[in-house]
Amino acid sequence: MRGEELLFESFLCAGHTHSETLMGLVDGAFKATGLSPADVDLWGVCAGPGSFTGLRIGLATVKGLALVHGAPCAAVSTPEALAYSCPAGQGTVLAALDARRGEVYWAAFDLASRARLVPDSAAPVKDLAQFVENCKKPLFFVGDGAALCYNVYGQTEGVLPCPPALGLCRGAGVCLAARAMNDRGEAMSAAALAPSYLRLSQAERERAERGQSLRP
């Protein structure tokens, strides 16, 4: 983005991994716009929650590109990027990412102002009931965990459907969220970028559970 103008955006949702596609997409963006990494004055990147491997690849890529020229970075929350990816309107947007085992990573935002209403957290879908009941309506669910939420709360008064294609995380959403973070003084050096996992990986949880079971 340059100011309010979106210069280029690409989106791929075909089951490929970041390691297979990310650098090609980045290279394509620079070629299409005639820009180079030296022209970027703020880098935005999703820092999580989300796929542990995907987050590490994305963060490492941005670190490498930003460190060369010393440009600041914004570690954007994935739910916040999802909220900024939605068309503006009235009500509440609840961004949910499938965390498996019937849980979601989630946060909620005012749809008109994009103001954050709750912090990012991991919770069983059923535990969102109080927020869903009491939040400003209409309420929309977005993200790859939206279907899980609609399965439970889709018939709740004031909950409206969001077409899946409009509930995906877009590059423009990351840019807008990054700019808002920079305006709030929340940008950082590339070296300071770190993932936000919110919980242990499955392997770490299983290791901890085995350790507990072996204790007398």
Question: Do 142 and 181 have their domain in common?
Answer: no
**63 and 114, same structural domain?**
no
CATH number of the domain that residue 35 is part of:
3.30.420.40
pLDDT of residue 213: 52
Length of the chain counted residue by residue = 216
**Are residues 63 and 100 located together in one domain of the fold?**
no
CA-to-CA distance for 51 and 46, rounded, in angstroms?
11
Task: Please state whether the peptide bond connecting residue 161 to the residue before it is cis, i.e. omega within 30 degrees of 0.
Answer: no
The 10s digit of each residue's pLDDT in 68-78 is 999 999 999 99
Structural domain of 137: 87-166
DSSP sequence for 64-86: HHHHHHT--EEEEEHHHHHHHHS
Q: Is 105 helix (H, G, I), strand (E, B) or coil?
A: strand
Residue closest to 121 by CA, chosen among 113, 111, 112, 131: 131
- The pLDDT of residue 202: 58
The confidence band for 206, taking pLDDT boundaries of 50, 70 and 90, is low
Instruction: Report pTM.
Output: 0.90
Do 96 and 136 belong to one domain?
A: yes
Cβ neighbourhood burial of 165 (10 Å; 0-12, 13-18, 19+) = exposed
Q: Are residues 91 and 162 in the same domain?
A: yes
Q: What is the pLDDT of residue 153?
A: 99
Residue 202 lies in a domain: no
Lowest mean pLDDT among 31-35, 191-195, 211-215: 211-215
Helix, coil or strand: residue 213: helix
State yes or no: cis peptide before 87, omega within 30 of 0. Answer: no
Beta bridge partners of 121: 106
Tell me whether residue 58 is in a domain: yes
Say whether pLDDT at 50 is over 60.
yes
User: Which residues have a Cβ under 8 Å from the Cβ of 92 and sit 6 or more positions away?
Assistant: 108, 109, 110, 111, 117, 135, 136, 137, 138, 139, 140
**Is-contact 55 202, C-beta < 8 A?**
no
Verify that 98 and 138 share a domain, yes or no: yes
- DSSP letters, 17-78, are -HHHHHHHHHHHHHHHHT--GGG-S-EEEEEESS-HHHHHHHHHHHHHHHHHHT--EEEEEH
Mean pLDDT for 26-54 is 96
Average pLDDT for the chain: 93
- Total structural domains in the chain? 2
155 pLDDT more than 70: yes
Residues 74 and 177 in one domain: yes
Same domain, 107 and 43: no
Give the per-residue pLDDT at 200: 66
Q: Is the pLDDT of residue 204 over 80?
A: no
61 and 97 inside one domain = no
Within this chain, do residues 28 and 133 fall inside the same structural domain, yes or no? no
Residue 142 included in any domain: yes
